[in-house]
Chains A and B, each alone.
Chain A
């Protein structure tokens, strides 16, 4: 307990996300703004979902434990749907911003592509969702206490940390797939993203039975990751090229930049 658990769980939960932010987002001001704005959208969706849950709880019998639990399930489902709705709203906003940026910029191309925006917005949703889920738990883990003294699982902290990491990655992948699906109007993709979000959230209901919840969630995460990779334009050849660090083509491209701006995605 104490600092070791705190730092360990914080590292597990947010290490990859922090690395992604530091390496890909922190250097570009526009991406940082998109990150913060995405967090704002997620917060608004959470606010609305909490409002709905709060009203439903106060309108119902507060002594009935089963009813309260089903209201919680209902609240969680509403929250997932609202999150996806606000992801769509953020897509619309970013699309407009993209057009605005393209119009304003000198060469008619916006400084950031829609795919980059999709990635950053997914990451922002994942980060804020993970932070809101786990920060109070982390703060409590710093202090004294015994985990699971009343019969709950003693692995609460570490499983929460792993779930949070999965959630961060999942949101990032969902963001990429979602934006691409909206752009190309593939509504079945959208439906699949929403469905997988609902399934993931539902799997956490199995929670003290971690084999049934963590393992499928990680499987879903890997599948979503692969799908997002191919959606974003990745392929085996790209991976090989990246790994072999070929550089010589680039210099030739630069010399022709007076004729044509090289098209980068």
Chain B
């Protein structure tokens, strides 16, 4: 997956750092490791932390097993709870990712279908130097493969560069790079987008209003993404910049090159995250060793802050709250299984009446979420957007690609829960998406069109 980087000398530079699915950890557990593994590792750690009362740097689950002699005895009991937690949070995590991915795709498809600008051919990026305007099919295919090679090499070089910078602790350079790239996205691309939308709907806007809007949008975006802001606002901004980047790709990548690039990127993602010397894997491992989060500006985080004790009807919410004033040792809420907490609720219900509820509401804890790199958002949206742009006005193809990508994401998260390590989010979804695109466009569309012309239903 690609996130953004910037070189000041080039305008539309694809981004580089690829991250894969990550799980959110709240700051005291600093290592942001890809995948749900970290959330489980974190839960394991925090379970152990609760029981042993010590705080350690949670590196990997192997460390935890050496924490104390009492731990192995409790581990089997903890494991069952963790497995159930995995699944419970697994389903919730999937939805926490479905929603932003769907929103990003909706923005991209809506723009593609309404604003003509993003489907017009207006030249190509320098990363795809070979033109596809050739008469023969073979030449066109060759040019698209060459374009792909150029693009992927640029991406590899940039990713390796980023990993080297990170390894040699050139944080200022990286931060400057990221800030410049998000500046460009939030101001320049938004300006272009707004201009095109206004042109499409023939709405006049004067420059002072435009400057006011763009300035506010961009400034708040920079603050939310790079510093602090309400979580949902940050998520919204990340979705918007992913959509903008995807639109740029849809506009400037030539037809066949786009499909070959999508395929090649998913293979690259697979290798970069899973191979021992892959750049992304090295990035993740380095970040783990140093117990640092990986560039929060480039990752969509679905971690929720929820107020314990808020009026939620289900027992899962009441459970932890009971635990909070039962057993809070280090102030972390650990979400036990509701069945476990059911018995606790009743035992503690009567003393609970005497406790003022407001004290619970003051305590906020962060629930573990899942993190997904912005590059994933971008490439999913590129696939669906291209399907919307080029599939001869057919909505079936777009929908089929959409369902395929969601199922791929679901399967990837399932694998994450099983393997508990960093996984690339692109391969399965993009493969399904590509298969469904080509088959729906060529096979299903004529079938459904013929059926619809006779008003037949199947």
User: Residues on A close to B: CB < 8 A?
Assistant: 29-30, 32-33, 36-37, 39-40, 43, 46-47, 49-51, 53-54, 69, 72, 75-76, 79-80, 83, 101, 104-107, 111, 128-129, 131-133, 135-137, 139, 156, 159-160, 163-164, 167, 200-201, 204-205, 207-208, 257-258, 261
Contact = CB atoms under 8 A, between A and B. Distances in A.
Contacts of B203: none
B395 A104 contact: no
A258 B443 contact: no
A257 B457 contact: no
Nearest to B81: A106
Contacts of A39: 403
B444 A47 contact: yes
Contacts of B83: 104
By DSSP majority rule, is chain B's interface helix, strand, loop, or mixed? helix
Given A49-B458, A50-B447, 8 more contacts: A29-B95, A54-B446, A104-B84, A106-B80, A135-B395, A135-B396, A136-B394, A258-B343
B458 A72 contact: no
Identify whether the interface residues of A are mostly helix, strand, loop, or mixed.
Answer: helix
A76 B451 CA distance: 8
A55 to B, nearest CB: 9
Contacts of A72: 450-451, 454, 456
Given A201-B458, A257-B346, A47 B439 contact: yes
A208 B87 contact: no
B235 interface: no
Interface centre among B338, B340, B393, B451 (most CB of A within 10 A): B451
Nearest to A257: B342
A111 B451 CA distance: 40
A201 B456 contact: yes
Highest count of chain B CB atoms <10 Å: which of A76, A128, A129, A164? A76
Given A54-B446, A72-B450, A105-B84, A33 B458 contact: no
> Of residues B83, B91, B395, B458, which shows the largest number of chain A Cβ atoms within 10 Å of its Cβ?
B458
A43 B98 contact: no
A37 B343 CA distance: 35
Contact of B95 (A32, A75, A160): A32
Nearest to A203: B457
B447 A133 contact: no
Contacts of B440: 43, 47
Interface in B190-246: none
B304 to A, nearest CB: 13
Given A32-B98, A136-B394, A163 B457 contact: yes
Contacts of B271: none
A156 B444 CA distance: 22
Nearest to A210: B455
Contact of A136 (B342, B396, B443): B396
B393 to A, nearest CB: 8
Given A72-B450, A136-B452, A139-B395, A43 B87 contact: no
Contacts of B378: none
A173 B17 CA distance: 48
Given A72-B451, A136-B395, A33 B457 contact: no
Interface in B418-458: 436, 439-440, 442-444, 446-452, 454-458
B81 A104 contact: no
Contact of B444 (A46, A101, A159, A200): A46
Interface of B: 80-81, 83-84, 87-88, 91-92, 94-95, 98, 337-340, 342-343, 346-347, 393-396, 399-400, 403-404, 406-407, 410, 436, 439-440, 442-444, 446-452, 454-458
Nearest to B443: A50
27 contacts: A32-B98, A36-B406, A36-B410, A37-B407, A43-B404, A43-B440, A47-B443, A50-B446, A54-B443, A69-B454, A76-B451, A79-B458, A101-B87, A104-B83, A105-B337, A106-B80, A106-B340, A128-B403, A137-B452, A139-B393, A163-B455, A164-B457, A200-B457, A204-B455, A204-B456, A207-B454, A261-B342
Contacts of A163: 455, 457
B95 A53 contact: no
Contacts of B456: 72, 76, 201, 204-205, 207
Contact of A160 (B91, B342, B400, B455): B455
A242 B394 CA distance: 44
A207 B444 contact: no
B453 to A, nearest CB: 9
Given A106-B84, A132-B399, A136-B394, A40 B452 contact: no
Contacts of A132: 396, 399, 444, 448
Contact of B436 (A32, A43, A137, A261): A43
Contact of A133 (B92, B343, B450, B457): B457
A133 B400 CA distance: 13
A30 B414 CA distance: 13
4 smallest CB-CB distances across A and B, nearest first, come from A29-B91, A50-B443, A50-B447, A29-B95
Contacts of A104: 83-84, 87
